Amino acid sequence: MRLRFRLSMLVVLFAVALSVWVPQAQASALEGAVTALDARSFAAKSKAVDALEALGEPDALPALRAMLEGMLFREKASKRVVIAEKIGGEYKISDALSGAELGQVKKAKLKKVSVNNRLRGRLQLAIGSLALNARDAETRTKSARSLTKQGNISMLPALDKAIAAETEPSVESTMRIARHAIQTKAGNQADRLAAITALDGVLDQDVMFILGTLSQKANEADPVVRALAAATLASTESSGRFYGAAETLFFGISLGSVLLLAAVGLAITFGVMGVINMAHGEMIMLGAYTTYVIQQWLPNAIEVSLAIAIPAAFLVSGAVGMAIERGVIRLLYGRPLETLLATFGISLILQQAVRVIFSPLNRSVITPDWMSGALEVNAALSFTYNRLTIVIFTIVLLAGIAALLRYTAFGLQMRAVTQNRQMASVMGIRTNWIDALTFGFGSGIAGIAGVALSQLTNVGPNLGQQYIVDSFMVVVFGGVGNIWGTVLGAMTLGVANKLLEPWAGAVLGKIFILIFIILFIQKRPSGMFAIKGRAAEN
Amino acid sequence: MRSSTILGLATTAVITLGLTTASMAAETIKVGVLHSLSGTMAISETTLKDTVLMLVEEQNKKGGLLGKKLEAVVVDPASDWPLFAEKARELLEVHKVDVVFGNWTSVSRKSVLPVFEELNGLLFYPVQYEGEESSKNVFYTGAAPNQQAIPAVDYLMEEGVKRWVLAGTDYVYPRTTNKILESYLKTKGVAATDIMINYTPFGHSDWQTIVSDIKAFGAAGKKTAVVSTINGDANVPFYKELGNQGLKAQDIPVIAFSVGEEELSGMDTTALVGHLAAWNYFMSAEAEVNAAFIKIWHAFIKDDKRVTNDPMEAHYIGFNMWVKAVEKAGTTDVDSVRSAIYGVTYPNLTGGTAVMNTNHHLTKPVLIGEIQADGQFETVWQTTGGVIGDAWTDFLPESARLVADWTAPINCGNFNIDSGKCSGQNY
């Protein structure tokens, strides 16, 4: 071990000495290769990337990364290849190799070095092999990953060297997987079979892709390799089945959380007060638009704007909700059909108002970076961050609502009015105001749901319509007048939907759920949990 | 006092009447605009209404047509399909318009077809559609499947794609397009097990399971691509889910037929970069006519952040071809204009020339672009010349033997070359 370490030290020392020895030649070759990136055809660009990779010089990394991200430009006047960063209306340019700043120029002075998907793949590979020697562990892991995906046999020596020098165990194991993955594709049969066996049970998307490729006759001539690859893939897949089931459960819970978010406001206005509010979806929409407006004010602080949007959406939707209650619904208590029609009319008015004010086009709400991507356990199980956030957000919101109902005077009065209006009135509670506040509260919660949904879907005039049917479904299924029923209803529907979807398809799955609910309501008209309340009395 | 008020009112009424007759006497050529300005489709169609208004304004600046001014008549069918038929009738019977520019969805077009055929109106339809139709009274300026879907698949095949996911929203356009594509892929030797077809409801927002299925489908060791006919609103959550589950454009590219510049302007594009779209026009096309068109559009709409898109170009070509045909015929009479428009050419915005064919479809180039972070497309591939729009696809057995030709001797929209007969149906 020590000897090998010494040897690799020697190699490194020799390489350093060599690079000191021929710095001039190397530098100009590098410069030439970087300039060649700005070739006319994609094929020539790809050749230039090959050349840079062959040089093995990490100095080329910034240029390659910039090219991948569409930040590599040619300065038209000097024909120099530069990295440009957009600042306001102008571009700040710097030398592609040295990183020396070259000032700011107008867009017209630059021509972008274009890339396509194939070239992007090639660039990632080159970056991957150059980055094996990077200082930070994360870059090394990433580079090993990209080698797993598309590395070839010529990279094995570099990879072996990197494995030998690696100190971090987790990075080392990723590198070893990359090594096996490359070895499966070429070399003598024994090496390849050993490599395939070593990959058994590795739940990685790219590894499984490679095994799949090897198990096909069109790609692999050797029948022994083919059979082993197919067997290994099957055993890996079966060990991933448990995780697949866990993932389906997570999908169900996260869909349930979205349903719950949309429905919990309705559970208060419809469930507790017995008002059929067809404009509930538009309260969600208003919340989403509030998020958009606040983001327009604070374009550089996405997280802050979201944090402000939560109370702001509550206030906006709550205020509109109270106005609807005082202006329209108050006059129609006890006449559910008229309420339904009136609130449906209000929902159309609100939609068209939004079209007039914000234009009928969707608005783009930016999602914070930390909400994109996924927490990957393995290939079969990953939790996307935005869904995780929504699940946690729903739990927190629900806890808040429960606490408010349980511990505040408003919550107490609300429950009292729900249970027995006359008695509450006799006890000195202004039932009128409690009605208005309850309706405003339910609408405000819908506004908060809008903030969350703006991170998942479109912010447009039709946002509310998409959720109104689902919301009613959840509330009716869970049991009118019971928030915990709503929670259970949403989760049941979410999980059932996700269990049905893989074999019935999204369209049929939804139909099955609807039929199930219709049958269920026939059997138990008051839903899963029914409590006595104003709605139940009627 | 009272009598003088009445007198005043009467005078006003007479003057108004006089003015109306005066403007009637000056005679304008009426251009009907049949696009939804409210309801779900307002998101796409409002822009097209503005485009037609702009084209009318530009034509009037050039002195109108046949010495008369053009006058746009705008109605709002409110994304309501039966209402489309009523409004079409109103345009033709009450307003007596000479031509109509309108519709977006196929179902709305099917709803107005009988009206246009009964009253012998003229409709220019600007959106890519599933084909399988050629009406005497409709000119299809959007792409037929062979001008969008087939070239897109060809491009991906060149890129080495062997396994296909055909994902669409559950309605007529995706279903027909996917039927055509499935049959086309099979003629190219793709096995049935390498094609996955998936439909979702309108506005579908929970893509977790489907994206996870696509991921699993793509892990089978063959290069996989998604051909998306997913409509409008469902796209944002779809691409977000793709990004979040780590499916990159390099691994599994998505080529979309319904995502254009306008749709992208309402999205956070970070998750979309590198995915593809096939159209006949991109705002980024480098041609002088295009730059001029964008300038006029920005001046008209008074917002230089607004984008242009493919259906806008279709209206631009359609409108100008109609103008040329009217000038050639010397009248706005529908039958004369119809026979005058065949063979009319007009420069399209991407630099070539569009031709109106006798099957009522255009010859246009096909472009494939990659989505960039700024919501624009970078053209990565394009046909060398124009592609002739084919009303009846060659890849479905029931329509392969049908041709549309509205000139003598065939003079019909669905001529069967085996039996030598038309089916009798008008479209």
- Listing DSSP states for B257-321 in one string gives SS--HHHHHTS-GGGTTT-EEEES--TT---HHHHHHHHHHHHHHT-TT----HHHHHHHHHHHH
> What whole-number distance in Å separates Cα of residue A102 and Cα of residue A106?
13
Inspect the interface and report whether the beta carbons of B201 and A209 lie closer than 8 Å. Answer: no
- The shortest C-alpha distance from A413 to chain B (Å) reads 38
> What whole-number distance in Å separates Cα of residue B308 and Cα of residue B298?
9
User: Best interface-test mutation with B: which of A364, A376, A388 has the largest number of B CBs within 10 A?
Assistant: A364
Inspect the interface and report whether the beta carbons of A355 and B212 lie closer than 8 Å. Answer: no
Question: In the β-sheet with B99-102, what is the strand arrangement from edge to edge?
Answer: B69-75, B28-34, B99-102, B123-125, B138-140
On whether any CB of chain A is under 8 Å from the CB of B206, the answer is yes
On whether any CB of chain B is under 8 Å from the CB of A372, the answer is yes
Give A214's contacts in chain B (Cβ within 8 Å).
221
On whether any CB of chain B is under 8 Å from the CB of A118, the answer is yes
> What whole-number distance in Å separates Cα of residue A41 and Cα of residue A37?
10
> What whole-number distance in Å separates Cα of residue A324 and Cα of residue A439?
9
On whether any CB of chain B is under 8 Å from the CB of A384, the answer is yes
One-letter amino acid at A346 equals I
Helices (runs of H) and strands (runs of E) counted in chain B: 13, 19
Q: What is the ipTM of this complex?
A: 0.75
On whether any CB of chain B is under 8 Å from the CB of A526, the answer is no
Give me the DSSP letters along B120-133: T--EEE-S------
On whether any CB of chain A is under 8 Å from the CB of B423, the answer is no
DSSP A131: G
> What whole-number distance in Å separates Cα of residue B36 and Cα of residue B48?
9
> What whole-number distance in Å separates Cα of residue B351 and Cα of residue A337?
59
The pair of structure tokens assigned to A115 is: 């890339």
Of the partner residues A121, A208, A361, the one whose CB lies closest to the CB of residue B43: A361
> What whole-number distance in Å separates Cα of residue A160 and Cα of residue A199?
17
Long-range CB pairs of A391-398 (<8 Å, 24+ gap) are A391/A253, A391/A254, A391/A257, A393/A257, A393/A261, A393/A452, A394/A257, A394/A260, A394/A261, A394/A452, A397/A261, A397/A264, A397/A445, A397/A448, A398/A260, A398/A264, A398/A483, A398/A487
On whether any CB of chain A is under 8 Å from the CB of B373, the answer is yes
Beta strands (DSSP E) in A209-366 are none
Contacts of B210 (CB under 8 A, 6+ apart): A501, A506, B167, B198, B200
Of the partner residues B199, B209, B370, the one whose CB lies closest to the CB of residue A498: B209
User: pLDDT tens, position by position, for chain A (538 residues)?
Assistant: 444 545 555 555 554 444 444 455 566 777 887 888 888 778 888 888 888 877 767 777 888 888 888 888 888 777 788 888 877 677 888 888 777 888 888 777 788 888 887 888 788 777 777 777 777 777 788 778 878 877 777 777 778 878 888 888 888 888 888 888 888 887 788 888 888 888 887 878 788 888 888 888 777 778 888 888 888 888 888 887 888 888 899 999 999 999 999 999 998 888 677 788 999 999 999 999 999 999 999 888 888 999 999 999 999 999 999 999 999 998 988 888 899 999 999 999 999 999 889 888 788 888 888 888 888 777 678 888 989 999 999 999 999 999 998 999 999 998 888 888 888 889 888 988 998 999 999 999 999 999 999 988 888 888 888 889 889 999 889 887 778 889 999 999 999 999 998 888 888 888 999 999 999 989 888 788 766 544 444 4
On whether any CB of chain A is under 8 Å from the CB of B42, the answer is yes
The model carries a pTM of 0.77
Q: How big is chain A by its Cα radius of gyration, in Å?
A: 31
> What whole-number distance in Å separates Cα of residue A482 and Cα of residue A268?
8
Count residue pairs from A and B with Cβ separation < 8 A.
Answer: 153
Contact B149, B177 (CB under 8 A): yes
C-alpha separations of A357 from A289, A354, B74 in Å: 11, 5, 20
DSSP A276: -
In chain A, residues 219-238 whose CB comes closer than 8 Å to chain B: 219
The pair of structure tokens assigned to B29 is: 């050529």
Helix (H, G, I), strand (E, B) or coil at A373: coil
